[in-house]
Structure 1
């Protein structure tokens, strides 16, 4: 059974973490992964090392686990670099409560911003105003209230916040990898024909 073309979701990766004795959420590491792919072109070996370190193991427990963890990196990179703009942060889905989903978004954002802060001020100097604003706005997500009720209003709010995080990640990747994907510039007022 090959996992190469299988789309992995939050539960798949969380199950892989459990196999390694870790109860942590994959959301934090996914945030780190997205920012690292954008800023540092994180390679597969470095990613596997980072995940194992986070899980407190020396190496994945078997080939299937290694392939799943590498597939997670591969699918994230393909989504960030793809012209379809279909990147989605790896977050708890509708099977989880709204509170769990809000906590996942909070953790994803913390991981994402941690990599950006570790990179220092140098990369920021070349960023567009739109990207700087998007990243600054993400700071607020690290303090969002996660003890929320399952309601349509809260669901809509969480969707909007998740969409903001998604767009910030794609913008960060696009600005550090011009031409991948081919998208119009956000701050270009000229109409596209």
Structure 2
């Protein structure tokens, strides 16, 4: 039986040239038949709201086996983390992999996407947490990684050289970490 991975894509349609679709395809190819990468289309991706995305995330999590592997890319990672911090999902998570995720400040329009200050204490049991970010990401400032690192000191940090955000050519470390962390379950 294959391991399930729920991948929550970033804002915009995942199949756009800089959308999450190429990273999703890369993972499917690299992980092979031992894994099933589930990458649902999120509602109204050009105008994402936490209310609609949170509801979709809840539905998708309800379909998963226990000890799920979760990947969030960019805004999708923000939405996934905020949902998990609500405290309603309490099933153990084998791995949480956050790629180029913005850390939203609690002001103005960003408030909708911001996690609570104490979000880390509200998360369900998560065996492995990985954070990936390019030093010169042109879409999400590198300081976002540092903010998450402060709040999630148990996370494994993967600082990547370059300015990649969408990882259209793939992210080998992500595939490697998924394989290694799921083999340690």
Pairwise TM-score range, normalised by the shorter structure: 0.3 to 0.5
**Normalized against structure 2, the TM-score is what?**
0.32
Q: Specify which structure has the higher proportion of helix.
A: 1
Q: Specify which structure has the higher proportion of strand.
A: 2
**Normalized against structure 1, the TM-score is what?**
0.31
The structure, 1 or 2, with the larger RCO (C-alpha pairs under 8 Å, 6+ apart) is 1
Whose radius of gyration is greater, 1 or 2? 1
